[in-house]
Amino acid sequence: MSDVKTALVTGASRGIGFVVASKLAEAGYHLAICGTTQTTIDKAAGKIRDANGVEVIAQAVDVSDRDQIQGFVKNTAKHFGRLDVLVNNAGITRDNISMRMKAEEWDAVIDTNLSSVFNAMQAALRPMMKARNGRIINISSVVAGMGNPGQLNYCASKGGVEAMTRSLAREIGSRGITVNAVAPGFIATDMTADLGEDAHAQLTSQIPLGRLGQPEDIASAVCFLASDAAGYITGQVLHVNGGMYM
Protein backbone atom coordinates (compact mmCIF):
# COMPACT_ATOMS: atom_id res chain seq x y z
CA MET A 1 0.00 0.00 0.00
CA SER A 2 1.28 3.46 -0.94
CA ASP A 3 2.16 5.90 1.87
CA VAL A 4 0.55 8.72 -0.13
CA LYS A 5 -3.07 9.44 0.70
CA THR A 6 -5.68 9.08 -2.04
CA ALA A 7 -8.79 11.15 -2.72
CA LEU A 8 -11.65 10.54 -5.16
CA VAL A 9 -13.64 13.53 -6.45
CA THR A 10 -16.76 13.21 -8.61
CA GLY A 11 -17.79 15.92 -11.07
CA ALA A 12 -14.22 17.21 -11.31
CA SER A 13 -14.04 18.33 -14.96
CA ARG A 14 -14.59 22.00 -14.10
CA GLY A 15 -15.99 24.43 -11.55
CA ILE A 16 -16.00 23.53 -7.87
CA GLY A 17 -15.03 19.89 -8.44
CA PHE A 18 -11.94 20.77 -10.46
CA VAL A 19 -10.75 23.30 -7.87
CA VAL A 20 -11.41 20.84 -5.01
CA ALA A 21 -9.37 18.16 -6.81
CA SER A 22 -6.60 20.67 -7.55
CA LYS A 23 -6.39 21.79 -3.92
CA LEU A 24 -6.24 18.18 -2.68
CA ALA A 25 -3.45 17.53 -5.19
CA GLU A 26 -1.60 20.60 -3.82
CA ALA A 27 -1.90 19.00 -0.40
CA GLY A 28 -0.13 15.92 -1.80
CA TYR A 29 -3.00 13.50 -2.43
CA HIS A 30 -3.01 11.10 -5.36
CA LEU A 31 -6.33 11.50 -7.14
CA ALA A 32 -9.10 9.66 -8.92
CA ILE A 33 -11.47 12.03 -10.71
CA CYS A 34 -14.51 11.49 -12.87
CA GLY A 35 -16.71 13.58 -15.14
CA THR A 36 -19.30 13.08 -17.85
CA THR A 37 -16.98 12.87 -20.86
CA GLN A 38 -13.54 11.26 -21.19
CA THR A 39 -12.06 14.16 -23.17
CA THR A 40 -12.86 16.83 -20.58
CA ILE A 41 -11.90 14.73 -17.56
CA ASP A 42 -8.60 13.76 -19.22
CA LYS A 43 -7.89 17.46 -19.83
CA ALA A 44 -8.60 18.25 -16.16
CA ALA A 45 -6.39 15.37 -15.03
CA GLY A 46 -3.54 16.61 -17.23
CA LYS A 47 -3.71 20.11 -15.74
CA ILE A 48 -3.70 18.79 -12.17
CA ARG A 49 -0.89 16.31 -12.89
CA ASP A 50 1.31 18.94 -14.54
CA ALA A 51 0.76 21.48 -11.75
CA ASN A 52 1.32 19.15 -8.80
CA GLY A 53 3.22 16.05 -9.92
CA VAL A 54 0.79 13.64 -8.26
CA GLU A 55 -0.73 10.54 -9.83
CA VAL A 56 -4.20 11.19 -11.26
CA ILE A 57 -6.51 8.59 -12.76
CA ALA A 58 -9.47 9.92 -14.71
CA GLN A 59 -12.58 8.24 -16.06
CA ALA A 60 -15.88 9.20 -17.67
CA VAL A 61 -18.56 7.99 -15.25
CA ASP A 62 -22.34 8.32 -15.28
CA VAL A 63 -22.74 8.75 -11.52
CA SER A 64 -26.48 8.06 -11.79
CA ASP A 65 -25.59 4.49 -12.84
CA ARG A 66 -25.00 2.44 -9.68
CA ASP A 67 -22.62 -0.03 -11.31
CA GLN A 68 -20.51 2.69 -12.93
CA ILE A 69 -19.98 4.80 -9.82
CA GLN A 70 -19.45 1.83 -7.50
CA GLY A 71 -17.06 0.28 -10.00
CA PHE A 72 -15.04 3.50 -10.18
CA VAL A 73 -14.77 3.75 -6.39
CA LYS A 74 -13.74 0.08 -6.07
CA ASN A 75 -11.19 0.36 -8.89
CA THR A 76 -9.69 3.46 -7.29
CA ALA A 77 -9.17 1.67 -3.97
CA LYS A 78 -7.69 -1.32 -5.81
CA HIS A 79 -5.38 0.82 -7.99
CA PHE A 80 -3.92 2.86 -5.13
CA GLY A 81 -4.29 0.21 -2.43
CA ARG A 82 -6.24 2.67 -0.29
CA LEU A 83 -9.00 5.29 -0.34
CA ASP A 84 -8.68 8.04 2.26
CA VAL A 85 -11.08 10.73 1.05
CA LEU A 86 -14.30 10.61 -0.98
CA VAL A 87 -15.76 13.91 -2.21
CA ASN A 88 -19.24 13.60 -3.70
CA ASN A 89 -19.48 16.75 -5.80
CA ALA A 90 -21.24 15.73 -9.04
CA GLY A 91 -24.66 17.30 -9.44
CA ILE A 92 -27.18 18.63 -11.97
CA THR A 93 -30.20 20.91 -12.03
CA ARG A 94 -33.43 20.43 -13.96
CA ASP A 95 -35.41 23.45 -12.75
CA ASN A 96 -39.16 23.77 -13.17
CA ILE A 97 -42.12 24.87 -11.08
CA SER A 98 -43.69 21.97 -9.22
CA MET A 99 -46.92 21.82 -11.21
CA ARG A 100 -44.99 21.47 -14.47
CA MET A 101 -42.10 19.29 -13.29
CA LYS A 102 -41.81 16.20 -15.45
CA ALA A 103 -41.08 12.78 -13.99
CA GLU A 104 -37.78 12.65 -15.87
CA GLU A 105 -36.73 16.02 -14.39
CA TRP A 106 -37.39 14.71 -10.89
CA ASP A 107 -35.74 11.32 -11.51
CA ALA A 108 -32.63 12.72 -13.20
CA VAL A 109 -31.85 15.07 -10.30
CA ILE A 110 -32.58 12.51 -7.57
CA ASP A 111 -30.55 9.81 -9.34
CA THR A 112 -27.56 12.10 -9.99
CA ASN A 113 -27.51 14.20 -6.83
CA LEU A 114 -28.79 11.80 -4.17
CA SER A 115 -28.67 8.14 -5.19
CA SER A 116 -25.16 8.52 -6.59
CA VAL A 117 -23.94 9.84 -3.24
CA PHE A 118 -25.30 6.77 -1.42
CA ASN A 119 -23.83 4.43 -4.03
CA ALA A 120 -20.39 6.05 -3.88
CA MET A 121 -20.38 6.08 -0.06
CA GLN A 122 -21.44 2.43 0.11
CA ALA A 123 -18.57 1.39 -2.20
CA ALA A 124 -16.06 3.48 -0.21
CA LEU A 125 -16.99 1.91 3.12
CA ARG A 126 -15.16 -1.40 2.63
CA PRO A 127 -11.64 0.04 2.08
CA MET A 128 -12.18 2.77 4.68
CA MET A 129 -13.49 0.37 7.33
CA LYS A 130 -10.63 -2.00 6.64
CA ALA A 131 -8.19 0.88 7.24
CA ARG A 132 -10.28 2.13 10.19
CA ASN A 133 -9.83 5.60 8.72
CA GLY A 134 -11.50 7.79 6.13
CA ARG A 135 -13.15 11.07 5.27
CA ILE A 136 -16.40 11.33 3.34
CA ILE A 137 -17.33 14.86 2.27
CA ASN A 138 -20.58 15.53 0.43
CA ILE A 139 -21.30 18.77 -1.43
CA SER A 140 -24.76 20.02 -0.51
CA SER A 141 -26.20 23.50 -1.15
CA VAL A 142 -27.52 26.50 0.73
CA VAL A 143 -30.95 25.75 -0.75
CA ALA A 144 -31.18 22.52 1.27
CA GLY A 145 -31.74 24.77 4.27
CA MET A 146 -33.55 27.77 2.82
CA GLY A 147 -35.49 26.28 -0.11
CA ASN A 148 -35.74 27.79 -3.59
CA PRO A 149 -38.78 28.14 -5.85
CA GLY A 150 -38.53 26.15 -9.07
CA GLN A 151 -35.99 23.77 -7.57
CA LEU A 152 -38.11 21.28 -5.63
CA ASN A 153 -36.13 18.35 -7.04
CA TYR A 154 -32.73 19.94 -6.40
CA CYS A 155 -33.62 21.08 -2.87
CA ALA A 156 -34.99 17.62 -2.06
CA SER A 157 -31.83 15.95 -3.34
CA LYS A 158 -29.52 18.19 -1.31
CA GLY A 159 -31.68 17.93 1.81
CA GLY A 160 -31.46 14.17 1.41
CA VAL A 161 -27.68 14.37 1.11
CA GLU A 162 -27.48 16.25 4.43
CA ALA A 163 -29.75 13.72 6.17
CA MET A 164 -27.67 10.81 4.81
CA THR A 165 -24.51 12.57 5.97
CA ARG A 166 -25.75 12.71 9.56
CA SER A 167 -27.09 9.16 9.50
CA LEU A 168 -23.92 7.58 8.12
CA ALA A 169 -21.79 9.62 10.52
CA ARG A 170 -23.63 7.97 13.42
CA GLU A 171 -23.39 4.56 11.80
CA ILE A 172 -19.64 4.42 11.13
CA GLY A 173 -18.07 6.86 13.58
CA SER A 174 -16.72 4.01 15.70
CA ARG A 175 -14.69 2.84 12.68
CA GLY A 176 -12.65 6.04 12.54
CA ILE A 177 -14.50 7.46 9.53
CA THR A 178 -15.95 10.96 9.51
CA VAL A 179 -18.84 12.02 7.28
CA ASN A 180 -19.54 15.71 6.70
CA ALA A 181 -21.07 18.03 4.12
CA VAL A 182 -20.17 21.42 2.71
CA ALA A 183 -23.10 23.62 1.65
CA PRO A 184 -22.02 26.32 -0.83
CA GLY A 185 -24.00 29.51 -1.29
CA PHE A 186 -23.82 31.40 -4.59
CA ILE A 187 -20.44 30.64 -6.13
CA ALA A 188 -18.86 32.39 -9.12
CA THR A 189 -18.82 29.66 -11.79
CA ASP A 190 -19.65 29.42 -15.51
CA MET A 191 -23.31 29.09 -14.52
CA THR A 192 -23.49 32.33 -12.50
CA ALA A 193 -21.36 34.20 -15.09
CA ASP A 194 -24.17 33.74 -17.61
CA LEU A 195 -26.79 35.44 -15.40
CA GLY A 196 -26.05 39.02 -16.48
CA GLU A 197 -25.23 42.14 -14.45
CA ASP A 198 -28.70 42.79 -13.01
CA ALA A 199 -29.16 39.25 -11.70
CA HIS A 200 -25.59 39.28 -10.41
CA ALA A 201 -26.22 42.52 -8.48
CA GLN A 202 -29.46 41.13 -7.07
CA LEU A 203 -27.69 38.00 -5.84
CA THR A 204 -24.86 39.99 -4.29
CA SER A 205 -27.31 42.23 -2.41
CA GLN A 206 -28.51 39.17 -0.44
CA ILE A 207 -25.01 38.35 0.81
CA PRO A 208 -23.64 40.18 3.89
CA LEU A 209 -20.06 39.82 2.63
CA GLY A 210 -21.14 41.59 -0.55
CA ARG A 211 -19.69 39.18 -3.09
CA LEU A 212 -20.21 35.77 -4.63
CA GLY A 213 -18.05 32.99 -3.29
CA GLN A 214 -15.16 31.52 -5.26
CA PRO A 215 -14.67 27.78 -5.94
CA GLU A 216 -11.51 28.11 -3.81
CA ASP A 217 -13.70 28.97 -0.80
CA ILE A 218 -15.44 25.61 -1.11
CA ALA A 219 -12.20 23.75 -1.84
CA SER A 220 -10.62 25.20 1.33
CA ALA A 221 -13.56 23.93 3.42
CA VAL A 222 -13.30 20.47 1.84
CA CYS A 223 -9.55 20.30 2.44
CA PHE A 224 -10.07 21.30 6.08
CA LEU A 225 -12.63 18.52 6.59
CA ALA A 226 -10.26 16.07 4.87
CA SER A 227 -7.36 17.06 7.13
CA ASP A 228 -6.21 15.71 10.49
CA ALA A 229 -7.31 19.03 12.01
CA ALA A 230 -10.95 17.98 11.47
CA GLY A 231 -10.58 14.57 13.06
CA TYR A 232 -13.21 15.25 15.76
CA ILE A 233 -15.81 16.74 13.40
CA THR A 234 -18.48 14.45 11.98
CA GLY A 235 -22.13 14.63 10.98
CA GLN A 236 -21.86 18.36 10.30
CA VAL A 237 -22.91 20.65 7.47
CA LEU A 238 -20.38 23.44 6.98
CA HIS A 239 -22.10 26.43 5.36
CA VAL A 240 -19.88 28.50 3.07
CA ASN A 241 -22.20 31.25 1.84
CA GLY A 242 -20.89 34.67 2.87
CA GLY A 243 -23.60 34.94 5.53
CA MET A 244 -26.47 34.70 3.04
CA TYR A 245 -28.17 32.01 5.15
CA MET A 246 -27.58 31.56 8.87
207 occurs within a structural domain? no
* Contact yes or no for 178/135 (Cβ under 8 A): yes
199, part of any domain: no
> Is 184 in contact with 146 (CB distance < 8 Å)?
no
- DSSP letter at 210? S
Question: What's the confidence (pLDDT) of residue 200?
Answer: 81
| Active-site residue, 245 included | no
Structural domain of residue 42, as residue ranges?
A: 6-188+215-239
Question: Would you say residue 1 has pLDDT above 70?
Answer: no
Which position has the higher pLDDT, 70 or 193?
A: 70
- Assess if residue 203 is contained within a domain: no
Identify whether 201 is part of a domain. no
Model confidence pLDDT, tens digit, residues 117-165: 999 999 999 999 999 999 999 999 999 999 999 999 999 999 999 999 9
Would you put residue 235 in left (φ > 0), alpha (ψ -120 to 50) or beta?
A: left
What mean pLDDT value characterizes the chain?
96
What is the DSSP annotation of 91-142?
A: -----B-GGG--HHHHHHHHIIIIIHHHHHHHHHHHHHHHHT-EEEEEE--T
CA distance 128 to 117: 16
Residue 188 contacts residue 213 (beta carbons within 8 Å): yes
Q: Is residue 198 part of a domain?
A: no
Does the pLDDT at position 2 exceed 80?
no
Q: What is the pLDDT of residues 75-122, one digit of tens each?
A: 999 999 999 999 999 999 999 999 999 999 999 999 999 999 999 999
- In angstroms, what CA-CA distances link 129 with 93, 121, 225? 33, 12, 18
Residue 191: its pLDDT value, please?
64
Q: Per-residue pLDDT for 215 more than 80?
A: yes
206 found inside a domain = no
Say if 210 falls within a structural domain: no
Average pLDDT value for residue range 39-55:
98
- pLDDT, one tens digit per residue, over 168-195 is 999 999 999 999 999 999 998 876 677 7
**CATH no. for residue 99?**
3.40.50.720
Q: Which one of 29, 154, 232, 245 is the catalytic residue?
A: 154
Which H or E run contains 143? helix 143-146
Look at the chain and report how many structural domains it folds into. 1
pLDDT, position 239: 98
Write down the pLDDT at residue 223. Answer: 98
Is 1 part of a structural domain of the chain?
no
Q: What is the pLDDT of residue 203?
A: 85
